Amino acid sequence: EGSCSSGTGKYRLYISLVTGGGSTLLSTTDETAGTSSEAFGISFTPDGQTVIFQTRACTNFSSETYAYSVPSTGGNKTKLVGPLSGFAYALMTKDGKRLIYKAGVLLSVDISTTNVITLAEPQGTNEGVIVRLSVDDKRVIYHAKSGDSGAEIFSVPITGGVPVTINVPLTNFYSAL
């Protein structure tokens, strides 16, 4: 589970030109977002036309995370994935077409259709699973616990499939990726 404060913070996400000239409101907290929320993991698609961001909504000291897209010129946001419990981590492919999302399970989200594919359910805590993309963006590589003591590096196609182990078990869990 992610940690939440008992605060009442709400987010407002703006975009501003670095040369000045004002700001455009892109998104605000949903009314159902609980007692507090925050926006994080903010990035642009490579063409600059879309902003991808995550939110964490907190209610009664538990959290839910979501990922959204919104046009960089403003407009309606689109939910890509969520609600998912606890901590979340997201990576975007270099072409800006897929979001790899880690929150308990490893997901591949098509940004244009919002189609979600479950890639894997790595063992270990969410914070302990490290995720990377292959150089060609065709595979997701992740580092996860294996049994009680070691760790392994796995690879799975970005569009889904069977994960394969690509190393021998490691004894130092945090040294692989």
The per-residue pLDDT for range 19-32, each reduced to its tens digit, is 887 888 887 765 44
Give strand ranges (E) for the chain.
12-16, 23-28, 36-44, 50-59, 62-71, 78-85, 89-92, 98-103, 105-110, 116-120, 130-133, 139-146, 150-157, 164-165
Report the distance separating Cα 125 and Cα 109, nearest Å: 21
Report the distance separating Cα 49 and Cα 44, nearest Å: 7
pLDDT of 80 > 80? The answer is yes
Structure confidence by residue, pLDDT tens digits, 31-47: 444 555 677 778 888 88
Predicted pLDDT of residue 176: 47
pLDDT of 157 > 90? The answer is yes
pLDDT band at 77 (very low <50, low <70, confident <90, very high): confident
> In the sheet where 36-44 sits, what is the strand order?
36-44, 50-59, 62-71, 78-85
Asked whether 124 and 144 are in contact (CB, 8 A), the reply is yes
Predicted pLDDT of residue 41: 78
pLDDT above 70: percentage of residues in the chain: 69
Structure confidence by residue, pLDDT tens digits, 121-151: 765 544 556 788 888 999 998 877 655 556 6
